[in-house]
Structure formats: structure tokens, C-alpha cells
Chain A
Amino acid sequence: MSEQAAVSERVQVPQWLLQPELGMCPCGCVGKRKKGSYLRKTLNGGAGLLRQVMFSDDTARQDGLLQRIDPRVKFLSVIVLLVAAGLARNIATLVAVYAVTLALAAASRLPVGFFVKRVWLFVPIFTGIMVLPATLSVVTHGDVVLTLWHWHGRAEGFTSQGLTSAGLIVSRVAVSISLVVLLTLTTPWVRLLAALRSVGVPRIFILIIGMAYRYIFLLLNTVTDMYQARTSRTIGAAKHDGGARAFLGASGGALFGKANQLSEEVHQAMTARGYRGDAKTLQSFRLRGLDIAAALCCAALAAAILIGDHVLGS
């Protein structure tokens, strides 16, 4: 909680959004609410989704190193570094790249604790659990370094190959996610879209992505409202029976109906304002000295990754 408070001081996300349950003591000493179903949990997580997006906008507005670089350069650099990290074959290389991403996060004034948490929570930890069985000789054959049991006189346990493989995949996943999180936390969403357009993504995709982004939260509200209305009319605990399934199907159907109507209304509003199936962008990017320097640094880093990895051998 203290870290969350520190984050919220730095940025402008309202405090009530950061509290998991309203009207409860944050330390959890007073009262306890019953854990809801996964459906309820996801809907309650809607605020978390909004918070994540608002937080990105806040950090992208700060005055840091990466925030000053042209979004196009940043996007292409992330792709190049992702490929370079993907081709690396040594854990040491990947750890070094991870250190570089941490340094970049600090130079961009991102709260480093938050950055580390955002990267490591879920995917790399989940990956670590998932590859755990692969470290055993049952899955990855090789030289057993720690014998756990014997099977027909043969030693079975952790193999050096399995451990290397697990270390490689976890560090590579962490590096990849760090790079993408660095991009999204330091680039306003609108400018990221404009950058995608100028690196060759067709305009129709940009239009769809930009509009979908606006309607996610509206539709999420619709779903939350439907669920709220249902629970407020339900007496007793929710049951998982035919009625629940019918409710799921009906909500889905109603959501599609509403979405269809919404898209028609939006289209009419767009046509009324002169939309003819084409869009123009106002912003144009100009490369400055800093951007060229950043691109050169990225190329040098990618080359260093590949050459260093080659020197370390496979």
C-alpha cells in the first residue's frame, strides 16, 4: 500500500481508484467482504484497467529521457531490441539488457519499484512456474546436477540443460516485457498511434484502434451496469445453474445489440460531421538530433547484444 501511495502522490490518479474495495479500511482490519466469483472479480478489476491506462498517460507526460524521443524511433528501437534479445543465447546477455532497461526506466523518471512490479507480476513469474517441470531430467534430458530420485538405477533430477533453458526463457520474457512497458509508459497513446501510422500500419487499422480504445470503457460500463442490475435483484448467493448461463448468453447478446446500435449512431454522427471514409492527421513528426542519437544508441546496443552474445558462445 505504501508503494501505491507513493505512486499516487507522484501522479494524478485519484486515490479512490487505487483502493481495492471502497468503504473498507485499507489495512483490512475492519470487516471482510465475501470473495465473489471470477465474473465479479473481473468487473471489479475494471477500475484497475482504467487506472493502468491513466497511469500510462501520467508517466508519459513527465519530463524524462525516453519521453523526449520521437515515438517512431522508440517504436522501431523496441522492435529491433526485441529481435536482438530474442536471438541472444546466454543468460548473462539477457541480464545485462535487463539492467539497461532498468537504467532507462530510472532515466525516464519512472518509479523503478513500480516498473519492476509491473513487469514481473504475472507473466515472468507464471513462466517460472510453468518451466519448473522442464528443469527435470524427465522433460529435458542432459547432465543431472542435483539428483532427486533414482529410476531403474538411473539418477533423475535437475539437469544443467533444463536449468539453463528455464533461466533463458524467464530472463528473455522479462526483458521483452520490460521493453514494451518502457515504450507504453513513456509514450502517450495518441502519439503511439500516430507513430504506428507513420511506420506503415494502414490507416484503417489506426482508425479502428483509436475508436475501439474510446469504446472499451463505455462498453465495460455497460457490462458492469447489467451485472449490477442483476445482482441487485438477486436475493441470496449467486448460483451457477442454467439461469446463470442464460444470463451470460443474454448479457452477451444484449451487449452485441447495444454495440451494433452504438456503431450505427457513431457512424451517423461521423457522417454528419463530414466523414467520408478517410482521415487526416494534424500532427507531423520531425526528427531532431536527440532522436538520431537515440536511434544510433539503439543500433549500437543491438549490435552489442549480438556480438557480446557471440563472444560468450552458445
Chain B
Amino acid sequence: MHIPDGYLSPQTCAVGYVIAVPAWAVAVRRVQRVVRNRHVPTLAVLAAVSFLVMMFNIPIPDGTTAHAIGATIIAILLGPWAAVLAVSVALGFQALLFGDGGVLAFGFNCANMAVLAPFAGYGVYKLIAGRSELTAPRRALAAAAGGYAGINAAAFAAAIEFGVQPDLFHNSAGAPLYAPYHLDQTIPAMMLAHLTIAGIAEGILTGGVVAYLQRANVPLLRVNHAGVAAPGEKPGEKPAGPRRVRPLYVALGAVAVMAVLTPLGLLAPGGAFGEDAPEDLDLHKYGLSAVPSGLNKYNGFWHHALFNGYDFTSDAHPTIGYIVSAVVGIAIVGAAIFLITMAVRWIAARRGASRRHETVEQS
């Protein structure tokens, strides 16, 4: 899954760094808060472990190799932010010392394997593990599922990055300049190998390590599971009360999901139903002789669209126009989600306050 230089255009690589650099900045601050000045030796040793895990290449029938990442297990043991740094450093080694993975593509390699994989894997782990005990078999299963999900999320992201290249970058004769396969070829090719082999390897590794630590080294598991009870203990005094919703996080999460899913639209064939201009309608098909007068009257009722036809350059630079329209659209939807979440939180807070007020009055 290590993308070498030359597969992605320099412009795409810049996007990878735009994703990776903020993640590193947040990770450094988060990790420093959690492990204080112990972070350097801890992360260094974990990076070495991640490097070793990635060294074990499993041959795949199609002639290539796949490997586990170890991102999810680090996320489970020390939190996803520690995994971001450890896996990034391991990837940096491979890029600089061994030529495995490119230097320009380092941003996207990190975004896939060091950011997306640990967070996706850790999310699935938390979801499945729920509030089970620290040594419950359910946790080992959750870890295996998390590892499987994490590496597949990374592979899917890599497939999308490859697959958008031929449509975005080709020369005047139509020859692709970078990775030549389209999304409908890259996604099956990447996912087949990772859903069947690499994902299972990562799942066995993650689940196996957690199962072993449950038997042999519970203190190591407890580092990142402060509120989880071990058998024979009373359930930890976890702070009760509803979880607070942060509008900024909800909006950013929604924007991230949209940005990741956008390229899937390129896969869909044909146009959307009911979005044609009236003059493009096949009137015979619907048994009509003319465009209905109402449709004619109200079509074009609004002439003032800022990005008419997802473009503002009047077709001078269609790609730039399209991308700017997409960015502005995502930003507006993100802002709308932010405002809606703010409003919901405000209403919920008012309701809670009035209910508390009532109970105080009753007592």
C-alpha cells in the first residue's frame, strides 16, 4: 500500500500533506499531554515496532505483496494519536532509507496508513467492545474487527487516490500521466487483496496481541483503558452524564466524510434522473408534443447562481471552476451542519435547564 513517487501527481501529493500536517500537529500536542516527556522513547520504540510489522510482506496470488500495518493495535494500546506519530515515523524511515513509498507521496501514505487506519480501526474497536470487561473475549474480537476495518479503510482511500488520477491528469491525446487505472479498476484490485489477505493478517495480529495481553500483561492494556473495569474490580467511577456534543467536531467530521466520499460520484454512470434541462427531454418517450408550459415558465426562474453549472469561469478553466465549486459547496454544508448542531445543543440545553428548574420547584 506504500504509494511510490510517480503514481500520484504533485498536485495530489500536496493535498496529502494538507491532510497529514494538521494531524501531526494535533497528535504532537495530544501525545505530549498524555505521556508527558516520556513520549519520545515510547513513540520511538513503537515506531520501530510498526516498522517491523510492516516488514513482514505476505505474498499475494496476483504477484504483489501485502503487509499488516500495526496501526490499530498501537491505537488500542496508547490511543490513536500516538499511532499517528509512530506509524508516520515508520513510514518516514521506509521512504528515506529504503525507498519504500515516495517522498512526495509521503503525505498521502501517512494520511492513509497513519491517520485513517488507526482512527477507523480504533472507532470500530470502541464500537464493538462497548463497556465489556478488560479481559472479555469480546474485546479481543473487537480488536480483530478493528484491525480488519482499519487496514481496509486505508486500502480503500489509496484506491480512490489512484483511481482519480487518469480523469484529472492526462495529455492532449488522452494518455494518463500518472496511475492509469480508473476507480472501477483500482477499487476491486486493492480491496480484493486487502479484504481477503492483508486485512485478515492485520485482524489476527491485532486480536491476537490483545488476547495475549489479556492473559499475560493486563497493566499494558490498562494504559489506554482508564475507565474500563477488569474482572474482580468494581466498575470504575466513570464520570456519568451525557456526552457533550461539540458542533465543531460534528461539522468537521461531516466535511471529512463528504470529502472522502466525493470521488465515488465519478463512478456512477449516466446523469441524475429528473435533472435534465427541458430542451434535453425526450418528449416522445413521455407521449408529449411540447414541453409543459409550467415547466417552461418556472425553469430558469433563478438566474443568479454563483457557480452556474459548477463553474464560474465560463468554461475557461472547467477543472478549476469545478474544484472551487466543490470546495465552496463543502464549506457551506459544513457551516450549515455546524449551525444546526449549535442550535440543537442550545435547544437541548434550554430543555435540560427548564426540566431541572421544574424538579427544583417540585422539591
Contact = CB atoms under 8 A, between A and B. Distances in A.
Contact of A142 (B53, B63, B173): B173
In this complex, the interface size class of chain A, counting residues with CB under 8 Å from chain B, is 35 or more
A42 B58 CA distance: 10
A56 B38 contact: no
A119 B96 CA distance: 13
B85 interface: yes
A172 B6 contact: yes
Interface residues of B, number: 76
Given A141-B174, A173-B5, A249 B211 contact: yes
Interface in B39-72: 39-49, 51-53, 55-59, 63-64
A211 B166 CA distance: 40
B181 to A, nearest CB: 6
B13 A78 contact: no
A86 B5 contact: yes
Interface in B342-357: none
Given A134-B180, A215-B48, A164 B175 contact: yes
A212 B97 contact: no
Contacts of A172: 5-6, 178
Interface stretch (B201-209, B247-255, B287-295): B201-209
A99 interface: no
A85 to B, nearest CB: 8
Contacts of A202: 28
B177 A249 contact: no
Nearest to B14: A83
Contacts of B9: 86
Nearest to B67: A42
Nearest to A205: B89
Nearest to A164: B175
Interface stretch (B117-125, B213-221, B271-279): B213-221
B185 interface: yes
Interface stretch (B98-106, B129-137, B225-233, B304-312): B98-106
Nearest to A209: B89
Given A164-B173, A249-B209, A259-B46, A126 B64 contact: yes
A285 interface: no
B81 to A, nearest CB: 13
Contacts, number: 247
Contacts of B4: 123, 127, 173, 176-177
Contact of A259 (B49, B98, B180, B204): B49
B123 to A, nearest CB: 21
Given A79-B103, A212-B93, A165 B45 contact: no
B329 interface: no
Interface in A151-169: 160-162, 164-166, 168-169
A207 B55 contact: no
B73 interface: yes
Interface string A205-223: 1011111111110111001
A169 B180 contact: yes
A252 B41 contact: no
A138 to B, nearest CB: 10
Contacts of A52: 97-98
Given A180-B99, A245-B208, A249-B205, A215 B45 contact: yes
28 contacts: A49-B55, A82-B10, A86-B5, A86-B6, A131-B180, A139-B180, A161-B174, A164-B173, A173-B6, A176-B5, A176-B102, A176-B103, A177-B5, A207-B40, A208-B85, A248-B208, A249-B205, A249-B208, A250-B216, A256-B73, A256-B209, A256-B213, A260-B45, A263-B38, A263-B44, A267-B37, A267-B42, A277-B40
Given A38-B59, A85-B6, A209-B92, 12 more contacts: A87-B10, A134-B176, A139-B181, A173-B7, A248-B204, A252-B212, A253-B212, A255-B52, A256-B49, A266-B44, A270-B40, A270-B41
Interface of A: 38-39, 42, 45, 49, 52-53, 56, 78-79, 82-83, 85-87, 89, 118-119, 123, 126-127, 129-131, 134, 139-143, 160-162, 164-166, 168-169, 172-173, 175-177, 180-181, 183-184, 189, 192, 202, 204-205, 207-216, 218-220, 223, 245-246, 248-250, 252-257, 259-260, 262-264, 266-267, 270, 275-277, 314
Interface of B: 4-7, 9-10, 13, 24, 28, 32, 36-49, 51-53, 55-59, 63-64, 73, 77, 85, 89-90, 92-93, 95-100, 102-104, 166, 171-182, 185, 204-205, 207-213, 216-217, 220
The 5 closest A-B pairs by CB, nearest first: A249-B208, A253-B212, A176-B5, A211-B44, A277-B37
